[in-house]
Homo-oligomer: A and B are copies of this chain.
Amino acid sequence: MHHWIKSALDDIGEEIFALAAKIYPICRSITGDGVRQTLREIGEHIALDVHEVPTGTEVFDWTIPREWNIRDAYIRNHKGERIVDFSKSNLHVMSYSVPVNARMSLADLRKHIYTLPDQPDLIPYRTSYYAENWAFCMPHRQYESLPDETYEVVIDSTLTDGSLTYGEYFHKGEAEDEFLLSAHVCHPSLANDNCSGIALLTHLAKQISRRRTRYSYRFLFAPGTIGAITWLAQNESRVSRIKHGLVVSMVGDGGGPTYKKSRRGNAQIDRAMMHVLRHSGLSPTVLEFYPYGYDERQYCSPGFNLPVGLFQRSQFGTIPQYHTSADDLAFIRPEALQESYRLITAAIDVIEKDDTYRNTMPKCEPQLGKRGLYGAIGGATDAAAANMAMLWSLNLSDGTHSLLDIAERADLPFDVMHRAAELLRKHGLLEITESRAGTRAI
């Protein structure tokens, strides 16, 4: 699988960015046409299955809420000027705001306005999914300068029985065991959170769809929290197939990278991501699991305890752009998206190739020289590292260490170790152990 990743790298960042830019303007929420429109855009790239789950459906402790849609919203002053206009930024309306059409004093209006006093030029992002309410969001500077007059306040939204919508793409591998990749699709015009993750996973799915893989890959594009809960509720019996997983969000800024471990803490995905990040040349942050964040909260709830981590660049909640209008298309960059793509695919590559080999000549070292193996791995790879990779894989391939185990022990990149092991395998010095060969495809 290695080379497709490399070959895909050249313009994948631009492609991901283009899709992110296309879906950025859409007003998404946890239900409604914004999600459907987003899934249609994804469907231009991959054969997405779109699921509709009716309002009122019970999913574990939750119930699918009414569907929310919005056509327009504004605040008009006495001159009839739209001083706040939904069509300029969908962040202006608190998500799930009930309809309103009223005239009111500034004092009354102010009870329904959110601002960020410390970031007075930005519009905050606010939601009120499960408590009926309405509100506008605006820059604090504007809020402070509003004249004391009567305003016409209109939110032309509907909150009616309908359905929750999510999309799923499945790629069949050699094994039934699955790798889950999940992005939330409920945020409106926030580029990094999570147009970036949606677009990256779409292009990753597109690439994977063209390959033979060991694992099956499941891509889930669903609204945060309620979407993941819905999917888990509807797939409860099949969830145990998930052997690895990543929640992907905020992958377009140049910060981080950040990896938050699964609840298990030492799952293979945790080890693979940490390995890749450590050899990335970047300055990664690895966080222990904690029960707050994105949909890993649901995947890692104790009744599932799936091996699913969270990959981000900057960590949510830690940057000033987070959940504000500053999380726009200027905040994400093709190079960062490409780098995020490279890191995720490198981790997938580790998991696809992490076999356990066995040294066929375990007593003393085999004579590498007579086989021309010293210095046999040339090119970009450092010759000394390649030689050490051969010695390490011979020494530790006693049936109890996987290639990732060995790469970690040797402090060498997995890729270098894998190339060494495969070279030795071609010379009959290593073999893949029976137990793993059965599930091995590529």
Taking the closest CB of chain B, its distance from the CB of A379, in whole angstroms, is 22
* Contact status A301-B61, CB under 8 Å: no
Q: Which residue of B lies closest to A371 (CB)?
A: B61
Q: Mark A188-231, 1 if CB is under 8 A from B, else 0.
A: 00000000000000000000000000000000000001001100
- Which residues of chain B are within 8 angstroms of A392 by Cβ–Cβ distance? 290-291
* Contact status B363-A304, CB under 8 Å: yes
- Which residues of chain B are within 8 angstroms of A290 by Cβ–Cβ distance? 388, 392, 410
* Contact status B364-A395, CB under 8 Å: no
- Which residues of chain B are within 8 angstroms of A116 by Cβ–Cβ distance? none
One of B131, B225, B364 near A60 (C-beta < 8 A): B364
- Which residues of chain B are within 8 angstroms of A359 by Cβ–Cβ distance? 302-303
Q: Which residue of B lies closest to A129 (CB)?
A: B369
Q: Which residue of B lies closest to A289 (CB)?
A: B395
Q: Which residue of B lies closest to A239 (CB)?
A: B363
A298 at the interface (CB under 8 A from B): yes
Q: Report the separation of the CA atoms of residues A131 and B367 in the bound assembly, to the nearest whole angstrom.
A: 13
A361 at the interface (CB under 8 A from B): yes
Q: Report the separation of the CA atoms of residues A302 and B359 in the bound assembly, to the nearest whole angstrom.
A: 8
Q: Report the separation of the CA atoms of residues A61 and B410 in the bound assembly, to the nearest whole angstrom.
A: 24
* Contact status A364-B292, CB under 8 Å: no
- Which residues of chain B are within 8 angstroms of A410 by Cβ–Cβ distance? 290
Q: Which residue of B lies closest to A292 (CB)?
A: B391
Taking CB atoms and an 8 Å cut-off, the chain A residues in 156-183 that contact chain B are none
A-B contact pairs, 13 of them (CB 8 A): A60-B363, A61-B361, A61-B367, A62-B364, A131-B369, A229-B364, A298-B364, A298-B365, A301-B394, A302-B362, A303-B359, A303-B364, A304-B363
* Contact status A363-B303, CB under 8 Å: yes
One of B130, B304, B362, B397 near A369 (C-beta < 8 A): B130
Taking the closest CB of chain B, its distance from the CB of A175, in whole angstroms, is 25
A366 at the interface (CB under 8 A from B): yes
A297 at the interface (CB under 8 A from B): yes
* Contact status B130-A301, CB under 8 Å: no
Taking the closest CB of chain B, its distance from the CB of A156, in whole angstroms, is 26
Q: Which residue of B lies closest to A131 (CB)?
A: B369
Q: Interface of A with B (CB < 8 Å)?
A: 59-62, 130-131, 225, 228-229, 232-233, 236, 263, 290-292, 297-298, 300-305, 359, 361-367, 369-370, 388, 391-392, 394-398, 410
- Which residues of chain B are within 8 angstroms of A395 by Cβ–Cβ distance? 263, 291, 300-302
Q: Report the separation of the CA atoms of residues A202 and B233 in the bound assembly, to the nearest whole angstrom.
A: 57
Q: Which residue of B lies closest to A387 (CB)?
A: B292
Q: Report the separation of the CA atoms of residues A395 and B305 in the bound assembly, to the nearest whole angstrom.
A: 9
Q: Report the separation of the CA atoms of residues A367 and B298 in the bound assembly, to the nearest whole angstrom.
A: 12
**Which of A297, A363, A395 has the most chain B CB within a 10 Å cutoff?**
A363
- Which residues of chain B are within 8 angstroms of A362 by Cβ–Cβ distance? 301-304
- Which residues of chain B are within 8 angstroms of A297 by Cβ–Cβ distance? 365, 391
Taking the closest CB of chain B, its distance from the CB of A257, in whole angstroms, is 24
* Contact status B364-A396, CB under 8 Å: no
Q: Which residue of B lies closest to A392 (CB)?
A: B291
* Contact status A398-B302, CB under 8 Å: yes
One of B130, B303, B367, B397 near A62 (C-beta < 8 A): B367
Q: Which residue of B lies closest to A300 (CB)?
A: B395
Q: Report the separation of the CA atoms of residues A229 and B208 in the bound assembly, to the nearest whole angstrom.
A: 47
- Which residues of chain B are within 8 angstroms of A62 by Cβ–Cβ distance? 364, 367
Given contact pairs A302-B359, A302-B394, a sample of 7 additional A-B residue pairs in the complex whose CB atoms are under 8 Å apart: A61-B366, A232-B363, A233-B363, A233-B364, A263-B395, A292-B388, A304-B362
